[in-house]
Amino acid sequence: MKIERHDRSCNRRGFLRRLGALSGMAAGSLVLPALVRGRASPTAASAGTPASASKERSREPSVNSSHARECMFYKKHPEMEVECEICPRKCRVGDIERGYCGTRENRNGVYYSLAYALPCAIHVDPIEKKPLFHFHPGTNAFSLGTAGCNMDCKFCQNWEMSQARPEQTSNVHLPPKETVEKARQASCASVAFTYSEPGVVAYEYMLDTAIEGKKSGIKTVMISNGYINREPMLEAAKHLGAVKIDLKAFTEKYYAEICDATLKPVLDTLVLLKSSGVWCEIVYLVLPTLNDGDSEIVSASKWIAQELGPDVPLHFTRFYPIYKMTKLPQTPISALEKARKIAMNAGLHYVYIGNVPGHEGENTYCPSCKKAVVKRIGYSIVERKLSEGRCAYCKAKIAGVWG
């Protein structure tokens, strides 16, 4: 997903005009790009301890937001301190301070979500771009992102929004009801919370949108790093249509050094999603020399097969140099092919290669007769041999939500 950046000429009136024109736009259309005001250079973002609110950012005035909404899942402590319980960082935040993600602020002992209903990027994307290959294929997702993230991955392709605070991006006010209405006008089957980490750092916005969308049959999907606590994830899973989780590697070392986070909570989220029954797909971005070792891919694949079952789609995607990782080469296609083979040998039924348009690893193959039941080129479906979720050739069931 490529987000245009630094469209400094666009003012709020311009945003709204473009948003109003949404209903005439096709998939892939840019509705509202990520608009970023005066961000620090990428090297300014610091590493910190995952359990603290230590991501250093210059203290700036609170976002002037009359839209801020009181957070869910937090505890009040003496002397107006609060403790956020949305994600494993469990930030303890003093008065007029924010948590690590920079989007939640303590005001007189009450914790507020500042990114609520304030997306800074909106696009109409094919659902395949999320990527979700087994969830209403061929439909569009009304896709939005807000400022902020609870990780700081050195390879983030959307770092200018993920590492920003809401006052550092140019936003449009789009409450849940209007979000769903815009999605409907754009003929989207779903709303995707994506690009940065809006499903976690703007959790309440996603949850309210999911609840609103259910009234009119628009499903909400969460495109996420999975770094979220059990209770909020359980609550959201009741209302979400699908979730895509980034399994960024299979070692704590990688999570600590590359993402400023930890692996265990992500695995816990995957297990929880499996038990909740919400449709889930996994992306593993393959970084040369850092998470592409055979033993790590074997361990990850076996864990998925054993803990989640063989039907969870796994996408091995190609890395391109960006952000703090410009010296690393792009992933060789041979490394992706090797990873795919390992995962299939571990028993996984649906293993894909991503970011290599035209590769046969983009297709869905029937696990029974091995024939291609969905052929893709990039995000486009070029042939579909599926009928009511079954292989057109041998009638075997293909796991997914086909609609």
Report if residue 99 touches ligand SF4, rule: CB under 6 A. yes
Looking at the Cβ atoms of 150 and 171, the one nearer to ligand SF4 is 150
Per CB under 6 A, the list member of 84, 172, 346, 366 interacting with ligand SF4 is 84
Nearer to ligand SF4, 85 or 292 (CB): 85
Phi, psi of 172 (to 5 degrees): -125, 145
Q: Which is nearer to ligand SF4, 140 or 158 (CB)?
A: 158
* Region binding ligand SF4 by CB under 6 A among candidate stretches 81-89, 137-145, 275-283, 316-324: 81-89
Close Cβ partners of 295 (under 8 Å, ≥ 6 residues apart) = none
Q: Is 91 in the site for ligand SF4 (CB under 6 A)?
A: yes
Residues in 292-351 at the binding interface with ligand SF4, rule: CB under 6 A: none
**Applying CB under 6 A, which of residues 18, 39, 67, 104 lies at the interface with ligand SF4?**
104
Strand order in the sheet with 364-365: 364-365, 372-377, 380-384
E strands present in 262-360? 279-286, 314-318, 351-354
Give the separation between CA 160 and CA 33, rounded to whole angstroms. 11
Closest residue to ligand SF4, judged by C-beta, is 99
Q: 3-class SS at 114?
A: coil
Residues of span 359-388 touching ligand SF4 by CB under 6 A: none
Cβ-Cβ contacts under 8 Å for 45 (sequence gap 6 or more): 55, 56, 57, 152, 159, 163
According to CB under 6 A, which one of 27, 32, 87, 282 is a site residue for ligand SF4? Answer: 87
Determine which residue in the list 3, 65, 100, 130 makes contact with ligand SF4, applying CB under 6 A: 100
CB 82 → ligand SF4: shortest distance, Å?
9
Among 89, 154, 165, 239, binds ligand SF4 (CB under 6 A): 89
Applying CB under 6 A, does 282 fall inside the site for ligand SF4? Answer: no
Q: Are 245 and 285 in contact (CB under 8 A)?
A: no
147-166: which residues touch ligand SF4 (CB under 6 A)? 150
Residue 101 interacts with ligand SF4 (CB under 6 A): yes or no: yes
Residue from 226, 268, 281, 221 nearest 248 by CA: 226
Query: Which of 103, 104, 107 has its CA nearest to residue 95?
Result: 107
User: Should residue 200 be labelled a site residue for ligand SF4 when binding is judged by CB under 6 A?
Assistant: yes
Q: Using the rule CB under 6 A, is 120 a contact of ligand SF4?
A: no
Residue 119 backbone dihedrals phi, psi, to 5 degrees: -70, 150
The whole-angstrom separation of Cα 321 and Cα 329 is 6
- Which residues are near ligand SF4 by CB under 6 A? 53, 84, 86-87, 89-91, 99-101, 104, 150, 200-201
